[in-house]
Structure 1
Amino acid sequence: MSTQPPLIDISGLSVGFRGRSGAMLPVLHEVDLAVCRGESVGIVGESGSGKSTLALAAMGYLRHGLARLGGEARFDGQDMFALAPPALSRIRGGKLGLIPQNSGQALTPTQRIGAQIAESLRLHCDHDPASHRDRARDLLAQVRLPDPDTILTRYPHELSGGQQQRVAIAMALAGEPEALLLDEPTTGLDVTTQAHILALLRGLARERDMAMVYVSHDLGVIAQVCDRVHVLYAGETVLAGPARSVLTAPTHPYAAALLAAIPRLGARALPRALGGRPPTPDMPRTGCAFAPRCALATDDCRAAPPPMIDTRDDQRARCLYPEKVGPLGHAESAPPAASPDGPPLLTTRALAVRYDSPGILARLRGAPRPPATVDGIDLTLRRGETLGLVGESGSGKSTILRAIAGLLPPAGGRIALEDGTDLATAAERRRPETLRRIQMIFQNPDESLNPRQSVGDILAQPLRLYFGLRGQPCRDRAAELLDTVRLGAHYLDRLPGQLSGGEKQRVAVARAFAAGPEAVLCDEITSALDVSVQAAVLELLGDLKARHGTGFIFVSHDLTVVRALSDRVAVLYQGRICEAGPTEAVFAPPHHPYTDVLLGAVLAPDPDHAPRLLAEDAAELAPPAQGCPFQRRCPVKCGTICETDTPPARETAEGHVIHCHIPLEDLRAREGEQAAS
């Protein structure tokens, strides 16, 4: 650890809220955190452990209803909770930048992107206003947004979730901060963009001697960026130390359990969730908070809180038996059942979706329309099956789901249920029974949770609409649904604003399941969840699939999750299918060159793991007019045939098709050379 004075210095910080009894209930317990210039510290733990509360406290901010119970938070020697608002404003967004988990909290929906970045530059920089547009363009290029000039003219709703998140990162960097607070900043990003953004952040930290506090449930991200790691459990630090030793040989059983719950790219199996759930703030503490879930716990652990002690490899652990924490293993449950062979539950044929709407003058001039955003999509979903859709941000995954859900009008093709019900109609024109049969869970839970309704009211809505439940039976069923997503009945009276990002996502999952659907459209539903809760949700999806024959279309940037859960996978680029087939076939060589790029960028919770990225790589805004959709980025492009001709479908095994001009034997040879090197 550096000997220089810390830039961010949090000591003995306790934060809490007033419960119904009138007593103050702590959510942070005497937490210490020191971060020096040029240093990056990761904060990890399950949802609700206090990670975001700690990061926001570093800038003197607490969510509504929370209060500081003790301790202090200093930035560059200044007490952030004692500063007057003008002084705070000069620090926040300038010297101390924040990248929030939900980009919607950082972007104004009624302002164009260019205007929002220009505002950040005007407030926090001394640049000549005439240079703001060029500076904004450079910032967007830094975070790998395609065609920055076009992005500057768009509104937030015209961008994908991953693109919005990159805009939020660019805005935080606009103030040229001395320190960055990053609250799950890469949650909504695809694997290639995430790897590039992490490389950018590492480079900026070195160049600017910038401090970073990185909150994340993704331990692969923490391994790539952070020098040190603090593990929080139920509002207190249970383990702290160098990233390498914490992630490879942790000396606290909680950290070991988190690492064991991560799905791995090398095996198709559902990770086994950590049993039980963290204590609520109103629960009395007489011993170790983790004892009820710990396999090493003894009566001594339950009798008194353990102290923070020095262990091995420069780690400090809040545990009586750190030496008993053994080598890491990977906890797995049985792999998903084989893909069903029954009749299709849902099909799309030649599905096309357009976002462009040419004006009158363009139509009169006969100007050619740009290629469709999504085109030629043929998908089949059977009962009891999970179909995974993977690809970078902007590849059309969410667009396909929204078209199936009736939230976007198809420009062509057909969407239908097994009984012939036409789904190429808007949601508001569908019959209630059709709406019940197909439910969607959004990437951003704020899109489906009314901020003025309690969790109980949110869950009661589908129960009343589809099943006529009222009163206590309705509340009991809502409590059962919360138990399935590992929350509990005590959440029924909370508002969405009182929940963490992961807790809100679990409520959104419960709301979709409340309708008893036959098909569930899952749009990045695990991206905001910690690894333990993610494992529990994956187990839940597998159980519903087995017991009720529920079909899932599962969109995710996380290829390890897709491999663990899916029976079949389709790989999309620029709204076109590049590769599709049974999961095991898609994840085994040979791959489409684009699939190979995605797999090479997957992170692992190992500081020695280096993602494999294209040396010269730039994201694209729109597909080419003809030829292979991946032609402009392909590292093994054949020639002009890739620019002019639609790639042929090459079948490597039964049901596994790669759309590529490159012969299969050449793809196999190339991947063999990569493996050897």
Structure 2
Amino acid sequence: MSELLIMNTTMTPILNVQNLTLGYTNANGRLVSVLRNINLQVAPGEALGLVGESGCGKSTLALAMMAFLRTGSQVQNGSIHFHDQDLFALKPKSLQSLRGGRIGLIPQNAGQSLTPTLKIGAQLHEALHLHSDLPRSQWHQRAIELLQQVRLPSPEAMLDRYPHQLSGGQQQRVAVAMALAGQPELLVLDEPTTGLDVTTQAHILELLRTLRQELGMAMVFVSHDLGAVARVCERIAVMYAGEVIEQGSSREVLLQPTHPYTRALLNAIPRLDTKGLPPSLPGYPPKVGSVTQGCAFASRCSHVQPTCHTDDAPLTNLSAHQVRCHFAGELHNTPATSKVITLPVQRSKEPLLRLEQVQISYHRPGLMDALLHRPAPIATVDGIDLQLKKGETLALVGESGSGKSTIMRAISGIHSARTGEIRLNQDDLNRPVEQRSKALKRRVQMIFQNPDASLNPRHTVFEILQQPLRLYFGLNHDASREKATELLSLVRLAPHYLDRLPGQLSGGEKQRVAIARCFAGDPDLILCDEVTSALDVSVQAAVLKLLKELQQQRGVTYLFIAHDLAVVKAIADQVAVLYQGRLCQVGPVDEVFSGHHHPYTRTLLNAVLEPDPDHQPVIQGEDSPEQHPPARGCAYQRRCSLAEPRCKEQTPPWQQDGNNRIRCHLNLSKLATLIDRPQLIKTANG
């Protein structure tokens, strides 16, 4: 195969991957290649983005850049040099000092990478002990400096906290500080913003951009979020089936994509300025080692020709990037086209779900509270009035800690509301799930964010689906098997998946099984808790289309929690914006996102990223909202630059703008200025 290599002619690369082929031994004892003929360079101070679907080899390549190979893996050909050191030739002791020192790693989930039983100070001291030459007497001061470097407030107090006492954004900043302890020249980031809300993500990405400028670090940024990559990286390498199939400047790759796969990935991204669902990629990526000749993308490509199946795709040099495709020259001069999918949905006029003046608190008064007449703390969620019609999708949006999941837990029966009504038609939902009838439990089902945590790894797909079928309908083994086959067909999975374990499925397949299990109860209301946040863009598009098709066929109703506002725009009919457990704005998604905005709604919309290097998100405030809402007045008063004295004392009224309701003291004409003047919102420096 031809080499795919972009040379940086201005300086010697800090990292040089040459002809790397990496494989592992499968269950049959055959050595199969998971990475093939990789050629990449990273210059000092440069940021390179690795993008592609799950299983394409991004994380495997990133970890190989630290000379980390999974058990059973081996280098079949090629090398990786860090400066003049061949990483795979280094002895274990040399590698140990290199990792975490000159090469740092920021993992995907900071909450899981931090030790829950150790204070932040102790964990930073450990990083300094392992990866710096500082004497113990200087660790404390250096730890403070590291927290200041990542822009964490009150670093002295932060050192004395445990990870669970920090927000998601603060935990991620601590992970960055720990990676900086060894003063790395190269930072490897593996999906560092997955799971973060839109404003926190924007702050973390801005922090990474700033640190790279200040410290001159090079970065390798692994992500399925092309908007995040566009914000951080100058160059992008697109991977598919273990190969780099397109590589070049971010501007060329994102604004003038050439390879059909790159174009398909970009088309699968939902956009705020587009109505409808983005198209998903047909088919699935090939199994590791299954493609021995021809183009690995041929079976899914709309431009495929017979030669694509038999001949390896040649390397084509274009203006500022290179593409591995038989028709690269032809496609490069053909504008990429995009389309959206619109599916009609029949909706009832009668509300299925009603929440009236719902107040939720996690505080449980004790004996001393009663004896000392202590006032109850401010409720976590208060004053929630929402209606959801049958066959409709309502999205709850807001930063982490805004009360979205708290409301969903109350509807599901995991947590009860203190006051107010929650009704499904005439059935009272404001009771613990164990006090609900079997029929009522069946009517309300939930799809969780992470199918790995919600699917029993020791049960086959059939056993997973059989449980609700037996519980709700009393089906025997044979009837359950027949019904389970129908459910898999519903989510576009073949019958042979029934005998597989979750560990034998891809991320998208696991989520389809979770959806099938949810529909096994024939529910009326489905609670969707960040069901696409951990999926790559192509799988996300397929899952969104599947959910919409099932809603069309079954008339099911969705309550949808999401951080990605573009996903909300694609799937939701109504949207409710929450801040500190209080509603700010409620209405049809088109009116809320394009009409008059509450100042907080505008903050969220300003922070949305686009897969465009020229897009500049407007970042405001801190990435860690207040822990508690104010005792009175507007919940958003502390962060709103348009706040007036009455905002601190009086609860804002609801204003009607068509079907769009906004809760704000400012009149609609004043709020209209936010559409064209986002600078009215506070900046990070106040």
TM over 0.5, shorter chain: yes
- Structure 1 residue 341, shift from structure 2 partner: 3.7
Q: Are positions 1:91 and 2:98 aligned together?
A: yes
Residues 431-479 of structure 1: per-residue CA shift (max 9 Å, x gap): 4443333222333344313445555654554455445567687667667
- Structure 1 residue 607, shift from structure 2 partner: 0.6
Whole-Å Cα distance in 1 between the matches of residues 501 and 174 of structure 2?
28
- Structure 1 residue 255, shift from structure 2 partner: 0.5
Q: Flag the 1:342–1:130 CA change in 2: closer, same or farther, 3 A.
A: farther
Q: TM-score, normalised by structure 2?
A: 0.88
| Corresponding letter in the other structure for 2:672 | R
Whole-Å Cα distance in 2 between the matches of residues 428 and 589 of structure 1?
43
Whole-Å Cα distance in 1 between the matches of residues 86 and 463 of structure 2?
41
Partner of 1:253: 260
| Corresponding letter in the other structure for 1:417 | L
| Corresponding letter in the other structure for 1:334 | T
Identity %: 53
| Corresponding letter in the other structure for 1:543 | E
Whole-Å Cα distance in 1 between the matches of residues 378 and 597 of structure 2?
26
Q: Flag the 1:202–1:596 CA change in 2: closer, same or farther, 3 A.
A: same
Partner of 2:54: 47
Partner of 1:228: 235
Residues 501-531 of structure 1: per-residue CA shift (max 9 Å, x gap): 6665555444434444322212222112222
Whole-Å Cα distance in 2 between the matches of residues 403 and 93 of structure 1?
43
- Structure 1 residue 604, shift from structure 2 partner: 1.0
- Structure 1 residue 336, shift from structure 2 partner: 5.4
Q: Flag the 1:509–1:570 CA change in 2: closer, same or farther, 3 A.
A: same
Asked whether the 8 Å contact 2:344–2:552 carries over to 1, the reply is no
Asked whether the 8 Å contact 1:276–1:293 carries over to 2, the reply is yes
3-state DSSP class of the match of 2:591? helix
| Corresponding letter in the other structure for 1:538 | L
Residues 314-349 of structure 1: per-residue CA shift (max 9 Å, x gap): 2111101012322122220116547x3433322323
| Corresponding letter in the other structure for 1:237 | V
Residues 394-416 of structure 1: per-residue CA shift (max 9 Å, x gap): 21112222222233343333333
Q: Are positions 1:33 and 2:40 aligned together?
A: yes
Partner of 2:585: 579
Partner of 1:667: 671
3-state DSSP class of the match of 2:594? coil
Whole-Å Cα distance in 2 between the matches of residues 149 and 428 of structure 1?
45
Asked whether the 8 Å contact 1:2–1:36 carries over to 2, the reply is no
Asked whether the 8 Å contact 1:162–1:393 carries over to 2, the reply is no
Q: Flag the 1:494–1:177 CA change in 2: closer, same or farther, 3 A.
A: farther
Partner of 2:67: 60
| Corresponding letter in the other structure for 1:21 | N
- Which of 562, 585, 594 is the aligned partner of 1:588? 594
Whole-Å Cα distance in 1 between the matches of residues 155 and 226 of structure 2?
31
- Structure 1 residue 64, shift from structure 2 partner: 4.8
- Which of 180, 198, 217 is the aligned partner of 2:224? 217
Q: Are positions 1:536 and 2:542 aligned together?
A: yes
Asked whether the 8 Å contact 2:602–2:674 carries over to 1, the reply is no
3-state DSSP class of the match of 2:302? coil
- Structure 1 residue 86, shift from structure 2 partner: 3.8
Partner of 1:417: 424
Whole-Å Cα distance in 1 between the matches of residues 356 and 661 of structure 2?
17
Partner of 1:203: 210
Asked whether the 8 Å contact 2:104–2:186 carries over to 1, the reply is yes
Question: Which runs of structure 2 are paired with 1:152-551 in the superposition (5 Å)?
Answer: 156=163, 164-281=171-288, 283-310=290-317, 312-325=318-331, 326-334=334-342, 337=345, 340-356=347-363, 365-425=372-432, 427-453=433-459, 457-466=463-472, 504-551=510-557
Whole-Å Cα distance in 2 between the matches of residues 166 and 411 of structure 1?
35
Whole-Å Cα distance in 2 between the matches of residues 87 and 499 of structure 1?
37
- Structure 1 residue 352, shift from structure 2 partner: 2.7
3-state DSSP class of the match of 1:647? coil
- Structure 1 residue 542, shift from structure 2 partner: 0.6
Q: TM-score, normalised by structure 1?
A: 0.89
Q: Are positions 1:641 and 2:632 aligned together?
A: no
Q: Are positions 1:622 and 2:628 aligned together?
A: yes
Runs of 5+ unmatched residues, structure 2: 1-7, 681-686
Whole-Å Cα distance in 2 between the matches of residues 449 and 348 of structure 1?
30
Whole-Å Cα distance in 1 between the matches of residues 463 and 281 of structure 2?
29
Whole-Å Cα distance in 2 between the matches of residues 289 and 62 of structure 1?
24
| Corresponding letter in the other structure for 2:401 | G
| Corresponding letter in the other structure for 2:648 | E
Whole-Å Cα distance in 2 between the matches of residues 417 and 294 of structure 1?
45
| Corresponding letter in the other structure for 2:620 | L
Whole-Å Cα distance in 1 between the matches of residues 522 and 176 of structure 2?
38
Asked whether the 8 Å contact 1:538–1:565 carries over to 2, the reply is yes
3-state DSSP class of the match of 1:610? coil
- Which of 631, 647, 658 is the aligned partner of 1:653? 658
Asked whether the 8 Å contact 1:568–1:583 carries over to 2, the reply is yes
| Corresponding letter in the other structure for 1:557 | H
